[in-house]
């Protein structure tokens, strides 16, 4: 009885040790024509004239034309580990959106001026489009 219990405990320990190994995800690199690349979480599948794949790291389902794919290759574990999805550069304020920082909040911006001008123009057209019968 004691031997069986010891063997079961040893097997349980080995199972946890083997299961605790961290495996890097299998990623695929899709080289595009004329330049550029995509990283896929799974092997792209050819459906008709398009490849279907799940983009890394978001998992978004993409469809890429076969004619725009130069080659598909499996990435090495070192290359897959080098990909850091959190290293994206934050988009700053765009000119057509106006400032979004709290330091400039409350100022009268160009966008507010454009909105008030559009509102005034729309109010004027309402009077011009009224029928003469009214």
| Three-state SS at 116 | helix
The Cα–Cα gap between 38 and 60 comes to 12
The correct CATH number of 23-84 out of 3.30.70.520, 3.40.50.300, 3.40.50.720, 2.30.30.100 is 2.30.30.100
Please list, in sequence order, all residues whose beta carbon lies within 8 angstroms of the beta carbon of residue 99, skipping any fewer than 6 positions away: 93, 105, 107, 109
| Cα–Cα distances in angstroms (integers) from residue 106 to residues 83, 101, 111, in the given order | 40, 10, 12
Read off the pLDDT of residues 26-81 as tens digits, 9 standing for 90 and up: 899 999 998 888 999 999 999 999 999 999 888 899 999 999 999 999 988 788 77
Better pLDDT: 95 or 1: 1
State mean pLDDT over 83-112.
61
pLDDT classification of 87: cutoffs 50, 70, 90: low
The domain limits of the chain are 23-84
Q: Which of 26, 24, 60, 66 is nearest to 47 (CA)?
A: 66
- For the whole model, what pTM was predicted? 0.47
- Predicted local confidence at residue 93, as pLDDT: 65
Q: What is the mean pLDDT of the chain?
A: 76
Helix (H) or strand (E) run with residue 40 in it: strand 37-40
User: Would you tell me how many other CB atoms lie within 10 Å of the CB of residue 56?
Assistant: 20
Q: Which range among 19-23, 26-30, 85-89 shows the weakest confidence by mean pLDDT?
A: 19-23
């Amino acid at each position: 009885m004691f031997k069986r219990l010891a063997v079961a405990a040893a097997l349980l320990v080995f199972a946890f040790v083997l299961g605790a190994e961290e495996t890097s995800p299998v990623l695929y690199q899709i080289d595009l024509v004329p330049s550029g690349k995509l990283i896929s979480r799974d092997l792209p599948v050819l459906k008709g004239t398009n490849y279907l794949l799940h983009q890394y790291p978001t998992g978004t389902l993409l469809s890429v034309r076969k004619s725009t794919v130069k080659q598909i290759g499996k990435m090495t574990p070192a290359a897959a580990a080098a990909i850091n999805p959190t290293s994206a550069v934050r988009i700053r304020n765009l000119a057509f959106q106006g400032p979004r920082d709290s330091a400039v909040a409350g100022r009268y911006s160009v966008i507010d001026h454009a909105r008030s001008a559009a509102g005034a123009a729309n109010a004027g057209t309402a009077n011009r489009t009224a029928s003469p019968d009214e």
